[in-house]
Structure 1
Amino acid sequence: MKKKILIVDDEPSISMLIEFNLKLAGYEVRCVHDGEAVFELLKPFRPDLIVLDLMLPKMDGIQVCRELRRQNNAVPIIMLTALQDVTDKIAGLDNGADDYMTKPFSPQELISRIQAIFRRLSSLPSSGEVTVFEFGRLSVYPEQREVHVDGRPIELTPKEFELLHFLCRHRGKVLSRQQLLHGVWDYHFLGDTRIVDVHVSHLRDKIERNARTPEYIITVRNVGYKLSGPPQTVEPSSMAGI
């Protein structure tokens, strides 16, 4: 079955260019031209990913992102922006976007990023991988794509979960931002590492007692991050109550 992608852009030339290239790549595509139209199409179309422009009539991209996440809709979002200001890009990530691209961009680069997101979402733990990661109050269930803190489920976006899972799999190891971009976003080029910092900040807000003095995701100055604390691994037989 074809993956469904919703394009949200009020510039017809941009929408048509993206639609043409995504259809060539084998995706089912719909286009809308304002923010409110996203919510009219969500249920009938059920997109697997949204390509969302920042500057839109009626509801801008930030408002659309914020509302989707408020509704606990975890659909991956790639934000498009013609603005070079870093604060605009970070604002998109702060409000739930998984990635962003600055116009003008190569359609092939957009397709590569979409493919990377779908590869990550479809990947499952290997048969030899630990079923559960336990770090004190924090429990990560890769097969169920669930995270619990103090026994309570925590809502994470797909990219936040993938980042935490990647850190779990490399627990105790210091990972550079570029390594995280490669491992989590599947970028095989020098990407903007601020994407990593924003997602780490979001994770800390959700899993740490105090995001300013984290006990799990530790910053290693001038290098990157590591997941701290010796984990306990739990076998499937002990998950009967999950």
Structure 2
Amino acid sequence: MQILLVEDDVRISDFVVKGLVENGFNVQLCASAEEAREIVFDTSFDVIILDVMLPGVDGIQLTKMIRYKSILTPILVLSALNDTEDKVAALDSGADDFLVKPFHFKELISRINALTRRTKYQKQEIHQNDILVQELRIDLDKHAVYQHGEKIELSPKELKLLIYLAENKDRVVSRTMILNAVWGINFDNNTNVVDVYISYLRNKIDESKHQYIQTIKGTGYMMQG
């Protein structure tokens, strides 16, 4: 299990990292929100643990940034502040749990396990008629596509093309195969409509460091699963 810990107090971070590693977790430590921001947007974690009082950008602001980017990783906030207003502010910013310092390490482990169980159950509840391709979820019943939990607006033809590519993920499909499946067998084979719609899809689903649809030179396209 991968955990990101954002804590600037060396005494606390040493204690938490040591305990988590002893319990079988893999931990990446950041001493500031700015450092964590560069990592969390490009790396997948099972749980994010962060302190509220950080130098520069604080934990509440970092939580809002993470949620703004549609990253749904469970967030556990650590804080020496125990007022109701502080807890409400953390939870309203997008955090999933709040733990007051000082805390017993067994309680920290218990809360981490609870957060990961909840995430596991949520994933199990995904409808059997969905297609999953990395961060994309295609709901075939509702004819809807979601990325990081956020809905992506696609035209009917874009959706049909995406479904065909997803159903054949990790398999190279030719332009002719795509034409037949999406536009019909009698469609003009000399058209560049496939390339145009592939471009449309890429503009909507590709992320800064990840391209879902690969061009296979001289053959066609492949969606990587």
* TM score, norm. by length of structure 2: 0.55
**Alignment deviations for residues 144-163 of structure 1 (CA, whole Å, 9 cap, x no partner):** 7899xx98778998xxxxxx
**Alignment deviations for residues 72-110 of structure 1 (CA, whole Å, 9 cap, x no partner):** 111110001101211111101001000010001011111
Change over 3 Å in CA distance of 1:76–1:146 after alignment to 2: farther
Matches for 1:9-20 after TM superposition, within 5 Å: 9-20=7-18
User: Match of 2:162?
Assistant: none
User: Match of 2:104?
Assistant: 106
User: Match of 2:94?
Assistant: 96
Maintained 8 Å contact 1:131/1:143: no
Change over 3 Å in CA distance of 1:29–1:131 after alignment to 2: closer
Structure 1 or 2, whichever has the larger Rg, is 2
User: Match of 1:8?
Assistant: 6
Structure 2 unaligned spans of 5+: 150-225
Whole-angstrom distance in 1 between the partners of 2:52 and 2:93: 12
Maintained 8 Å contact 2:138/2:144: no
Whole-angstrom distance in 2 between the partners of 1:84 and 1:121: 26
Matches for 1:169-180 after TM superposition, within 5 Å: none
Report how many residues are paired.
142
User: Match of 1:74?
Assistant: 72
SS at the partner of 2:3? strand
Matches for 1:137-216 after TM superposition, within 5 Å: none
Query: Of 59, 62, 80, which aligns to 1:61?
Result: 59
* TM score, norm. by length of structure 1: 0.51
- Percent identity over the alignment? 37
Change over 3 Å in CA distance of 1:71–1:143 after alignment to 2: same
SS at the partner of 1:74? coil
Change over 3 Å in CA distance of 1:109–1:143 after alignment to 2: farther
Shift of residue 46 of structure 1? Answer: 2.6
Shift of residue 142 of structure 1? Answer: 9.6
Backbone CA RMSD of aligned residues: 3.0
Look up the equivalent residue of 2:32 and give its one-letter code.
D
Shift of residue 48 of structure 1? Answer: 1.8
Change over 3 Å in CA distance of 1:143–1:80 after alignment to 2: farther
- Find out whether 1:118 has 2:108 as its counterpart: no
Maintained 8 Å contact 2:5/2:50: yes
Maintained 8 Å contact 1:79/1:99: yes
Whole-angstrom distance in 2 between the partners of 1:19 and 1:33: 12
**Alignment deviations for residues 50-72 of structure 1 (CA, whole Å, 9 cap, x no partner):** 10101101110110011111111
User: Match of 1:34?
Assistant: 32
User: Match of 1:136?
Assistant: none
Whole-angstrom distance in 2 between the partners of 1:60 and 1:97: 13
